[in-house]
Structure 1
């Protein structure tokens, strides 16, 4: 089995030298613990003396200015940090953590209406191509030819809903896909996400599951979007398919949420418009020689990222420490891995790589959630650690 290794070429944005990258690392030693860092001139700068948590930094009135003006201690080169963040780690040296701490980890589902509707058409047609064409004709008569342009909650979406009801095709997933209200759920507990180079966990009882490559927004307590990173919203399709009430079990297991490698802050070189046009690619490499390639184009999303953030934080729900928000994916693997008709599912040992030119790449190896390293460092541990290091003011 090849060892998973991280380096500048396979992990950082193509223009990383001009990008504003912030994140978290684990510092070794008796007085060690999580540290907030910024990448500057190829060096990893520890900013913990100024911002004990990444949520505090992102909740600053002007985080970009703060990052540019901040002073701190160099922890070494970004190249050395990445080299020690793969599967062969020296615990006496710093290594990457997920770039989130006290922020709530939220996710939006069913945000790509066009692919969702096509799946419903195929399902209701029962594999009959002629029947599928008949159903598609009814849909196109209601909303036109380009389903990608369908705006959730619009009059066109409501006409489509009526057509689907009449054809007995309506479902709760379509409601959140084309209705006015987005599906927003909690993906993982605070501090439970794993970073690049760590194992990701699949529930051992699942036989049909897949990665979900997504762009993830970084949002402060006031709802201001300050940057983005990459995420893997690991999903158990068999659990969720049995019942929508099993969503939390399908989504939230040990090591089932990966984020990283860094949050890229918005600046003169990177903005929310770049997120809106982001191309996210996926590659799965199995120990059996299997390779799966896919992509998700953010310009096909049905709900604008800013709207999804506004549906998460508003007068009805607040997040005092901010949140990160998975934006959903266009990617849904259907290629058979082993036997015809059984589609794709993970196997232990798979290496999942999620990448984007502007955000870098997130790499994780698949294991089962009971075999992944246990999550033991919670909020209480974080507060105790920061207090012992004299970082709580």
Structure 2
């Protein structure tokens, strides 16, 4: 199942997709308006989120699929925190070494038992589908980073989404200690367009992923890969994130950068970024300076 947040008459509504059918769960009960409401029901009844949704679907009429195009989407959840993993793909390790004044540390992180994990964003620094992600005015080299996002509730994996870990390569490249400034700022992260339930996604390690960047109606970057290229498993990354760490009700862990534009490329204001992951959907965002 896929879960979307749609705006309708200035209200956010939770839409669930089962097969080719869409249902507005608020029709079944007004107490379910957001994905977090499904999580509450699952916690109270000790049932999977898809089981709760199935029960509500019985009292909700199907919607036309056109609503996904006609109504604006918003973030599929408002996570208490977003974290990210670094150098989990070979291409990411090579890019970080190229940009850095201390390249050897990234080789160590790629090959070591312990992954690189870092805090990325809060909900108010994160945007949803069709909103603008940000690039810093004090940065000269900025890139999108398409990533599979693991959605968790109190550390338990409940679903997957698409993330864009927008980053300043120039700031991080000056000194690895500047990583928080390169990663954490207004509009530094995008999530969406939906949450695919973990129970309905057979294997997160075999998904096709692609990204394109359009500038002035011209595609300036387009490439694809597969999550099978990741050297860490989702279970491994979640374990290191969870160990010795009291986790909030909702969090998202981005699993690493799989596609990196050429070194000569940098994002500009008004660019448009599209990131797609098989079985989840496509996340689209424009770019603005912050």
TM-score, scaled relative to structure 1: 0.64
Inter-CA distance 39–243: structure 2 relative to 1 (3 Å threshold): same
Structure 2 residue 86 is matched with structure 1 residue 109? yes
Q: Secondary structure at the match of 1:70?
A: helix
Inter-CA distance 345–102: structure 2 relative to 1 (3 Å threshold): closer
Inter-CA distance 324–108: structure 2 relative to 1 (3 Å threshold): same
Contact kept, 8 Å, 1:26 with 1:97, in 2: the verdict is yes
Alignment of 1:153-302 (within 5 A): 171-221=104-154, 223-267=155-199, 269-271=200-202, 273=203, 275-287=204-216, 289-302=218-231
Inter-CA distance 120–63: structure 2 relative to 1 (3 Å threshold): closer
Structure 1 counterpart of 2:17, from 7, 21, 39: 39
Q: Secondary structure at the match of 1:285?
A: strand
Structure 2 residue 9 is matched with structure 1 residue 24? no
Give the superposition deviation at 1:296: 3.2
Measured in 2, the distance between the counterparts of 1:352 and 1:102 equals 22
Measured in 2, the distance between the counterparts of 1:106 and 1:332 equals 19
TM-score, scaled relative to structure 2: 0.85
* Cα deviation 1:17-70 (Å, max 9, x = unaligned): xxx1113234434xx4x4433235234433773446534534623111111112
Inter-CA distance 81–359: structure 2 relative to 1 (3 Å threshold): closer
Q: Secondary structure at the match of 1:230?
A: strand
Measured in 2, the distance between the counterparts of 1:333 and 1:43 equals 38
Match of residue 65 from structure 1 = 51
Measured in 2, the distance between the counterparts of 1:237 and 1:364 equals 19
Match of residue 307 from structure 1 = 236
Rg bigger for which structure? 1
Alignment of 1:137-152 (within 5 A): none
Match of residue 165 from structure 1 = none
Give the superposition deviation at 1:266: 2.7
Q: Which runs of 5+ in 1 are unaligned?
A: 1-19, 86-95, 125-168, 336-342, 370-393
Alignment of 1:47-86 (within 5 A): 49-51=30-32, 53-58=34-39, 60=42, 61=46, 62-71=48-57, 77-85=64-72
Q: Secondary structure at the match of 1:317?
A: coil
Inter-CA distance 103–332: structure 2 relative to 1 (3 Å threshold): same
Give the superposition deviation at 1:312: 0.8
Inter-CA distance 78–248: structure 2 relative to 1 (3 Å threshold): farther
Aligned pairs, number: 280
Contact kept, 8 Å, 1:37 with 1:48, in 2: the verdict is no
Measured in 1, the distance between the counterparts of 2:93 and 2:118 equals 21
Measured in 1, the distance between the counterparts of 2:31 and 2:219 equals 46
Structure 2 counterpart of 1:323, from 247, 251, 267: 251
Contact kept, 8 Å, 2:213 with 2:271, in 1: the verdict is yes
Measured in 2, the distance between the counterparts of 1:259 and 1:320 equals 18
